[in-house]
Structure 1
Amino acid sequence: MAQETLLKEQFDGVLRLTLNRPDKLNALTPEMRQELLTALKDAHDTSEVRTVILTGSGRAFCTGQDLNDILPDGTGEKPDLGDVLTQHYSPIIHAIRQMEKPVLCAVNGVATGAGAGLAFACDMVFAAKSAKFIHAFSRLGLVPGAGASFHLPRMVGEVRAKGLMLTGMPLTAERAADWGLIWEAIEDDQLQGEVLDIATGLAKGPTSAYAMTKHLIHASADSTLEDQLVREAEMQRRAGNSENHAEGLNAFLEKRSPVFK
């Protein structure tokens, strides 16, 4: 029986997606990429899913593209790597960024190349203390992909982004946390439990407000202050008229925990 390369588990409003080729350090095949994209789209459209966790099995999170899939074929033809990004990786990055629910990443081991790109597209990144992030495209004579050249400079600044991408030097989880690249570095044996606890808490929260908050933060990168103030007012108007705001306010006045939709 063929091994499932993407595991899906759902509990208490949380969907956990686990990349599952541990013997290949979860390197991504075309089938895995399509499975992941379909699962993310389904999560977006399924009301029972309120938070998503992306993680890996074994000792790696993801080492990016399986290089065996981009070697020349029997005729000597090489795949167009630009098409590989456009057709296979860009849709996954868009699906993560456009998810109107929190997307958490639990980096359980090394995250290399497109694997690191997947992680940094998520809303909150947690990493085992043994984990490392490596942008090794330059070692193959390639450039960063999977959104890395967009996210990394915005998260750690141009100087650090260039250093990581030009040298391909590993970045430890604890230094990544110090730089603000990830939310927290966690003891290896506690990673999955802590991330699940946080995800479960978020799943009980006001998903509509989370979606608007994410929209505001994403828009701020290319926005003027005036445009952002206008955008905030519009989002707050929508939030203020929502059932979740009414429930939150009533729960505060009644001194009870809110039950959000």
Structure 2
Amino acid sequence: MTNDAVVVTRDDQAAVATVRMNRPDRRNALTTELKVALRDALEDVGQDPQIRAVVLSAAGPAFCVGQDLGEHAEALRSGAEEPMRTVPEHYNRITSALTTMPKPAIAAVGGTCVGAGLGFALACDLRLAATGVRFATAFSGIGFGGDSGLSATLAHAVGASRATDLLMLGDAFTAESARDWGLVREVVAAEELDDKALALARRLANGPTAAYAEIKIAVALGTVSPLSTVLEHEGAAQSRLAATEDHRNAVEAFLAKEKPTFTGH
């Protein structure tokens, strides 16, 4: 699937889809066209049972610099309703597509990642970043608070105090700082980023994707719920997973000292 704003490639053999933002000349600034295309692409691959892992990436020297402020300013001047609708119609649905898809999502951050771009990266389950990448929240600089889930995902990742600092002051931080804070799994050479992200996606696609889906739900629940609620959920999740072929086959493989094969069923 390809259009001017987003390119989706599927590796059917590996059961991996790559969703690539494709406005390199504008540093993947988020126009309505790009937001709609990204939302629809992520919802599509998220619901596709043939896809077992997803990579979110971007063409050009930037991952995403957030909202296209030229388009935004034009809409504000005209009195259009678009600036008020874009959060529920675009940003929230993009973030939700990444956080709720029942499969792992990996962000391959190859360049500047700010604003909603950072929100989308943090909505993924795992992140890789290229050496030299700079991150920032950027919202307060234009008189905004956070969106794209950043108010929650950033606080959960680095703690409320540091998240408040980053959101209020908007100071940029490096890929190495992001790694040290736990935001990024690994910092790699730019020329290795795509291959490393695909290798990680393939590894996950070969794993127990039903268990991964339950892990995503449980971790999200665990950040906002009391322990009693988490324990109840974990018990129900383990019961669901105990009935899967993946679990039963993996137990038998363990006892036979063999490597398990997972199918997602």
**TM category, shorter:** over 0.9
- The aligned runs of 1:206-217 (5 Å cut-off) are 206-217=208-219
2: CA distance between counterparts of 1:61 and 1:36? 13
Q: Which residue of 2 aligns with 1:10?
A: 10
2: CA distance between counterparts of 1:90 and 1:136? 18
Q: Which residue of 1 aligns with 2:190?
A: 188
Q: Which residue of 2 aligns with 1:77?
A: 79
- Contact kept? 2:139, 2:167, Cα under 8 Å: yes
Residue 200 of structure 2 is aligned to residue 198 of structure 1: yes
- Contact kept? 2:47, 2:101, Cα under 8 Å: no
2: CA distance between counterparts of 1:128 and 1:60? 11
Q: Which residue of 1 aligns with 2:241?
A: 239
Q: Given the superposition, is the C-alpha separation of residues 70 and 241 from structure 1 closer, same or farther in structure 2, using an over 3 Å criterion?
A: same
The Cα offsets for residues 85-108 of structure 1, whole Å up to 9 and x where unpaired, read as 112111111111110000000100
1:141 aligned to which of 130, 140, 143: 143
- The aligned runs of 1:44-123 (5 Å cut-off) are 44-73=46-75, 76-77=78-79, 79=81, 81-123=83-125
The residue type paired with residue 125 of structure 1 is R
Q: Which residue of 2 aligns with 1:166?
A: 168
1: CA distance between counterparts of 2:144 and 2:104? 31
Out of 111-120 and 80-89, give the one that drifted further: 80-89
- Report the secondary structure of 1:71's partner residue: helix
- Report the secondary structure of 1:105's partner residue: strand
The residue type paired with residue 122 of structure 1 is C
The residue type paired with residue 9 of structure 1 is T
Q: Given the superposition, is the C-alpha separation of residues 142 and 78 from structure 1 closer, same or farther in structure 2, using an over 3 Å criterion?
A: farther
2: CA distance between counterparts of 1:69 and 1:38? 20
Q: Which residue of 2 aligns with 1:223?
A: 225
- Report the secondary structure of 2:67's partner residue: coil
CA-CA distance at 1:205 after TM superposition: 0.9
Q: Structure 1: any 5+ residue segments left out of the alignment? A: none
- RMSD (Å), alpha carbons: 1.8
Q: Which residue of 2 aligns with 1:124?
A: 126
Q: Which residue of 1 aligns with 2:25?
A: 23
Q: Given the superposition, is the C-alpha separation of residues 82 and 75 from structure 1 closer, same or farther in structure 2, using an over 3 Å criterion?
A: closer
Q: Structure 2: any 5+ residue segments left out of the alignment? A: none
2: CA distance between counterparts of 1:74 and 1:174? 37
Q: Given the superposition, is the C-alpha separation of residues 153 and 239 from structure 1 closer, same or farther in structure 2, using an over 3 Å criterion?
A: same
CA-CA distance at 1:256 after TM superposition: 3.0
Equivalent pairs: percent with the same residue?
A: 36
2:177 aligned to which of 175, 178, 181: 175
* TM-score, normalised relative to structure 1: 0.94
User: How many equivalent pairs are there?
Assistant: 260
Out of 203-212 and 180-189, give the one that drifted further: 180-189
The Cα offsets for residues 222-254 of structure 1, whole Å up to 9 and x where unpaired, read as 221122112111111111111110121222233
Q: Given the superposition, is the C-alpha separation of residues 151 and 74 from structure 1 closer, same or farther in structure 2, using an over 3 Å criterion?
A: closer
